[in-house]
Amino acid sequence: MDKTLVWALVVLVVNFSGCFTEGVNNTTFPKRPDVVSIASILTFDSIIGKVAKIALEAAIEDVNADPTVLNGTELKLTLHDSKYSGFLSMMAALQVMETDAVALIGPQSSVLAHVISHVANELQVPLLSFTATDPTLSSLQYPFFVRTTHSDLYQMAAIADIVRYYEWRQVIAIYIDDDHGRNGIISLGDQLAARGCKISHKAPIKPLATKTDISNVLVQVALMESRVLVVHTYANWGLDILEVAKSLQMLDNGYVWLATNWLSTVIDISSPLPTNTVDVMQGFITLKSYTKESNRTRKFASQWRNLTAFGLSTYCLYAYDTVYMLAHALDAYFDRGGNISFSKDVKLKGIKGEILNLDSLSIFDGGNLLVQDILNVKMKGLTGDFAFTSNKDLVSPTFEVLNVIGTGVRRIGYWSNASGLSTTPPETVNMKPRQQSSSSDALLAVIWPGQIIQKPRGWVFPENGKQLKIGVPKRVSFQEFVGQSRNSDAFKGYCIDVFTAAVNLLPYAVPYKFQSYGDGVKNPSNTMLVSLINTGVYDAAVGDIAITTNRTRLADFSQPFIESGLVVVAPVRRSTSSTWAFLRPFSPLMWCVSGIFFIVVGAVVWILEHRINDEFRGPPKKQLVTVLWFSFSTLFSSHRENTLSTLGRMVLILWLFVVLIINSSYTASLTSILTVQKLYSPIKGIDSLMASKDPIGYQENSFVRNYLIAEYGIHESRLIPLSLPEDFDKALRDGPKNGGVAAVVDERAYVELFLSTRCDFSIVGQEFTKNGWGFAFPRDSPLAADMSTAILKLSESGELQRIHDKWLMRSACSSQGTKFEVDQLELTSFRGLFIICGLVCFLALIIYIGLIIRQFYKHYPMLSESSGRSVRSGPLQTFVSFVDEKEETIKARSKRKYSEGSSYRTDVDNASIQNYKCSRLDLSLDSK
């Protein structure tokens, strides 16, 4: 009876608790639905659509079979076929919105994603795509679009790193001309520009193009210079592009083909590939999304082989993870009280039709919350860590770099957004700077198209029969460098021979034709010639073109083939001996300072020795002669006077060292002046010209004029243009006083040719700029780099020197072997010695004066008593007399005075004692 009552109470409590709990749940959180509808829009007839459909269905089955994912709620998937049609995709999206679907997976292409995103925005239904890789879909314009794969932005960054790694400068982009292709190539252009490269030509192909359409595009590509081709298309049409390229012989040696991940998708899904398909992709480099192998991926791969004969692609893995990610987001959505409810769109109210019943479309009330839950999902998927960044991109974008070889592919490296290119898996690579992609071991060896292992140049001269139009300055002077034959249009000269020899070393033919630039009356401006390359008038420029900063902004230059800086040319004459040649080693200031120091050192030594050394005493006239004699006799170390004081000896030793240096320098300079033939010019270099007001000559239409004005501030009124070497000669001979110039500033190459037969002029001073001559080409032209390599080969083989000797070697003047006049020895060279000597003299005097003053105050009272001078004259005169007096006399007087004082005290004491004794005797007598 009691047991029955107890069990009845237990049952009552349980039922009551359940009712209470159910009441709370109904009040706080709605009951989870039994079924949640989702939909997907795919292109069933495409290879990606075929495998994606299987992957989605497998994921739905696995999610529904696992009650821990949605806690008993099942997913219901409805599939729609877009049939490559944007219109049908939009119709399918509208049909989905008429149902209770809370999310839409797809569409397959970026073009359709752009269209359907507008519908998703209006009805607030999350749109998830694992195949739409257009980077612009991540914009704020599409808040309900979520990409569950990596954006093409990262894929293009990987391709740009590959291009930079192999040191190519330009690529040609082949792509389908739709949103997917255009926006992907725009991203590629931005990534290349950030690495100093560029897209030289864009080759768009219209959607659903035939092989004839593709052929028309590739024929134009084959005529281009660049041989680095980037193909960004769809898997279904990519093979058509390769087949057409093979028929045009564009898969042979010299070409580089870089394919985005469409090629790896074809290889993965269609494996094994037919032989004819494998043949058209040999040597290609392609990308593939990297997924780390795990037990879960191996299990799914085994399951996949039981589901279909198609190969397993990364798109299958992303499709599978998309379903699981959506399931986790729905679980979180339901956990925080979300429910499945729809409301009418007031914008569509009253809009009805027989075919489109737009009034039946509803807005998903929980769309915003579900999108946030989707972006907050963090899970381990088949593709690895599955989570989103703040930009709605998947974390850790990583790709494998594959090289198609034989019947398969070979992985040559990896690319990740964190470490760039690397040969080690991303999970084992420490986070290193992006510069790693330029290291020597960033990728393994590649088999390129044509079965070659040497890296292709990436550029060839176009074989379209077009000749390069090369501008050549029509000079009227110095035609040894470049000149035009009188009886023909042919050009000759040093620059022409160097260019011809370099072109002959190129591994490909370069058809070209020289075209003269200039009127033949005066030398043309090379800067204007280079600017015409930039505007497309000429394809290159060959001649005596100096590589300057302004010109490098207009065109690219080859390696310099001759060094040529600016120098100053002035009239010179032989420096001959004269009556006063012995004064030339030192400058006037040096002579003056040296003489002053001779006298100062003599005076200092006299002061230090005067009170103790008899040789420095006597009448004033004798002492003056002694100072002068002692000073100048130290020049030959022939002074007879001995120094007795420590300070005097210190000063003298240092001064003799200074004299030794001065004497040696004077002897060496005078010997050079009298024995070596030299040239003399009042102009010492560019600094001397700047300091003067004389006119300066320069070669007409050269960059020298603007350079002197801008860099050295020389007024343009001082600059005189000269055309011919004869004008140089006349202007220099006339000089500034007769309407000529003081000097000419020009490039060393011209000057050396000018001086080869003119011995009255010479280069003065140092070369004050460093530049060279090079061949000019359009910006980013690969021909500039190849010509630079050819010029270096000419230099290494000695051919460049032989060409130089042929055109520029002349009989030099005999005087050119003499040295230019050596500058006089200036005070600056000996300033340190004089400063040290002066400081020592000053310190010796300070110490000496201190000792004298101390000695003076010690003997001052005695001096005052003995002479009484302090009464008649002041202390200053007494001090002067004390200084002039010999030190022995002072000491003797002091000793005598001390002796006299001692004897006086002794006499006084004796007298006192005697008086004391007498007093005592008197007292004793009185007492008696």
Please give the full DSSP string across 716-741, using - where no structure is assigned: GGGEEEE-SHHHHHHHHHH-GGGTS-
Phi and psi (nearest 5°) for 424?
A: -110, 150
The C-alpha atoms of residue 317 and residue 607 are separated, in whole angstroms, by 104
The C-alpha atoms of residue 872 and residue 887 are separated, in whole angstroms, by 23
Q: Within 13 Å of residue 783, how many CA atoms lie on the same side as its CB?
A: 25
Q: Which residues pair with 147 in a beta bridge?
A: 129
Element (H or E) spanning 182, and its range? helix 179-194
Report the pLDDT value the prediction gives residue 419, as an integer from 0 to 100: 85
Phi and psi (nearest 5°) for 103?
A: -155, 155
State the amino acid at position 522 in one-letter form: K
**Cβ atoms 414, 401 nearer than 8 A:** yes
**Cβ atoms 696, 741 nearer than 8 A:** yes
Give the angle subtended at the CA of 559 by the CAs of 557 and 564, to the nearest 5°.
95
CATH superfamily of 468-560+778-789: Periplasmic binding protein-like II (3.40.190.10)
Kindly list the domain boundaries of the chain, sorted by start residue.
Answer: 35-148+305-387, 152-293+397-428, 468-560+778-789, 581-675, 680-770
What tens digit of pLDDT does each residue of 19-77 get?
433 443 444 567 889 999 999 988 888 889 999 999 999 999 999 999 899 988 999 99
Concatenated DSSP letters of 317-356: HHHHHHHHHHHHHHHHHHHTT----EEE-GGGTT---SS-
State the amino acid at position 685 in one-letter form: G
Sheet holding 198-205, edge to edge: 198-205, 170-176, 228-232, 256-259, 285-289, 398-405, 408-416, 420-422
Residues 6 or more apart from 591 whose CB is under 8 A from it? 583
State the amino acid at position 124 in one-letter form: Q
Fold match between 468-560+778-789 and 680-770? yes
Count CB atoms within 10 A of the CB of residue 810: 12
Q: How far is CA 364 from CA 41, 143, 857, 890, in A?
A: 19, 14, 114, 123
Count CB atoms within 10 A of the CB of residue 138: 16
**852: its two tokens:** 């004298």
Strand, coil or helix: what is 481? coil
Sheet holding 678-680, edge to edge: 573-575, 678-680, 819-820
Residues 6 or more apart from 433 whose CB is under 8 A from it? none
Contacts 24+ apart (CB under 8 A), 843-847: 844/604, 844/608, 844/647, 844/648, 844/650, 844/651, 845/604, 845/607, 845/608, 847/647
Phi and psi (nearest 5°) for 285?
A: -110, 125
Quote the radius of gyration of the chain (alpha carbons, Å): 51
**Cβ atoms 357, 98 nearer than 8 A:** yes
Report the pLDDT value the prediction gives residue 859, as an integer from 0 to 100: 62
- Give the closest residue to 768 by CA, choosing from 678, 680, 688: 688
Q: Helix H segments across 535-645?
A: 549-552, 588-609, 620-633
**Cβ atoms 291, 383 nearer than 8 A:** yes
Element (H or E) spanning 75, and its range? strand 74-81
Residues 6 or more apart from 640 whose CB is under 8 A from it? 615, 633
Count CB atoms within 10 A of the CB of residue 745: 26
Cβ-count burial 553-573 (b if 16+ within 10 Å, e if not): ebbbbbbbbbebebbbbbbbe
| Residue segments in the chain with a per-residue pLDDT below the cut of 70 | 1-29, 348-360, 429-441, 462-465, 574-582, 584, 610-618, 635-642, 673-680, 810-827, 829, 855-928
Q: Are strands 170-176 and 228-232 parallel, antiparallel or unpaired?
A: parallel
Strand, coil or helix: what is 271? coil
Give the angle subtended at the CA of 385 by the CAs of 381 and 386, to the nearest 5°.
70
Report the pLDDT value the prediction gives residue 826, as an integer from 0 to 100: 67
**Cβ atoms 232, 175 nearer than 8 A:** yes
Write out the CATH class of domain 680-770: alpha beta
Strand, coil or helix: what is 275? helix
The C-alpha atoms of residue 373 and residue 77 are separated, in whole angstroms, by 20
Q: Which residues pair with 49 in a beta bridge?
A: none
Q: How far is CA 521 from CA 197, 495, 703, in A?
A: 42, 21, 18
**Cβ atoms 395, 335 nearer than 8 A:** no
Among positive and negative, which fits the CA dihedral 638, 639, 643, 646? negative
Helices (H) and strands (E) in the chain, counts: 30, 34
**488: its two tokens:** 């023909």
- Give the closest residue to 138 by CA, choosing from 398, 397, 392, 396: 392
Q: Helix H segments across 758-868?
A: 782-797, 799-808, 831-867
Strand, coil or helix: what is 654? helix
Report the pLDDT value the prediction gives residue 438, as an integer from 0 to 100: 45
- Give the closest residue to 723 by CA, choosing from 750, 749, 742, 748: 750
**228: its two tokens:** 């680095």
Q: Which residues pair with 744 in a beta bridge?
A: 569, 697
What tens digit of pLDDT does each residue of 175-227 get?
999 999 999 999 999 999 999 899 999 999 998 899 999 999 999 999 888 89
Report the pLDDT value the prediction gives residue 490, as an integer from 0 to 100: 87
Residues 6 or more apart from 737 whose CB is under 8 A from it? none
Question: E-strand spans in 369-480?
Answer: 379-381, 384-386, 398-405, 408-416, 420-422, 468-473
Residues 6 or more apart from 647 whose CB is under 8 A from it? 608, 844, 847, 848
- Give the closest residue to 529 by CA, choosing from 575, 469, 586, 486: 469
Report the pLDDT value the prediction gives residue 55, as an integer from 0 to 100: 95
Q: How far is CA 493 from CA 198, 479, 542, 544, in A?
A: 36, 7, 11, 10
Residue with tokens 């739409």: 132
Write out the CATH class of domain 152-293+397-428: alpha beta
The C-alpha atoms of residue 851 and residue 843 are separated, in whole angstroms, by 12
- pTM for the full predicted model: 0.67
| Four-way CATH pick for 35-148+305-387: 3.20.20.150, 3.40.50.2300, 3.40.718.10, 1.10.10.410 | 3.40.50.2300
Report the pLDDT value the prediction gives residue 875, as an integer from 0 to 100: 61
